[in-house]
């Protein structure tokens, strides 16, 4: 079994019911040694932020295929800020146009993963973010 690398919450905000990609990413992260908490479908931004704080996660991943990313992601970021949890990085997966991805990253999103991104690339980005968060917590 791999060494535990950290805790990652994977959530599906909004009304989008397509969670296969979220489950594939969650399993890949688990297999890479992360402890993964999957919130399930139809979560509100407040539910995702509350779970992230309650579960003391190192990173949050959200999957959005509904096209509501410009509404849901800023709402999640606000909910995290309202809970003094802006130090928890968030990554997003889904069908997100390049201009929207740039805008979301400008608002503080760690990374945007679109369909076809390799699981190894996702794992590497999450691992680096978790390591950075752990290092900052020690300093």
Where in the chain are the domains?
A: 7-138
Please state the pTM of the whole predicted model: 0.94
CATH class of the domain whose range is 7-138: alpha beta
Provide φ and ψ at 92, rounded to 5°: -130, 140
CA-CA distances (angstroms) from residue 111 to 1, 17, 63, 71? 27, 22, 12, 17
Residues 68 and 99 sit within 8 Å (Cβ to Cβ): no
Mean pLDDT by 10 residues, the chain (139 residues): 75 91 97 96 97 98 95 98 98 96 97 97 98 91
């Amino acid at each position: 079994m791999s060494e535990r690398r950290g805790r990652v919450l994977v959530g599906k905000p909004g009304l989008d019911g397509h969670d296969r990609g979220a489950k594939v990413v969650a399993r890949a992260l688990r297999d890479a040694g992360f402890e993964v908490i999957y919130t399930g479908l139809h979560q509100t931004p407040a539910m995702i932020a509350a779970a992230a704080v309650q579960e003391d996660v190192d990173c949050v991943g959200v999957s959005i295929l509904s096209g509501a990313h410009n509404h849901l992601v800023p709402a999640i970021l606000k909910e995290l800020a309202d809970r003094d949890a802006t130090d928890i990085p968030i990554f997003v997966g889904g069908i997100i146009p390049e201009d929207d991805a740039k805008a979301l990253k400008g608002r503080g999103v760690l990374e945007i993963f679109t369909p076809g991104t390799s699981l190894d690339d996702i794992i590497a980005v999450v691992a680096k973010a978790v390591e950075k968060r752990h290092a900052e917590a020690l300093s």
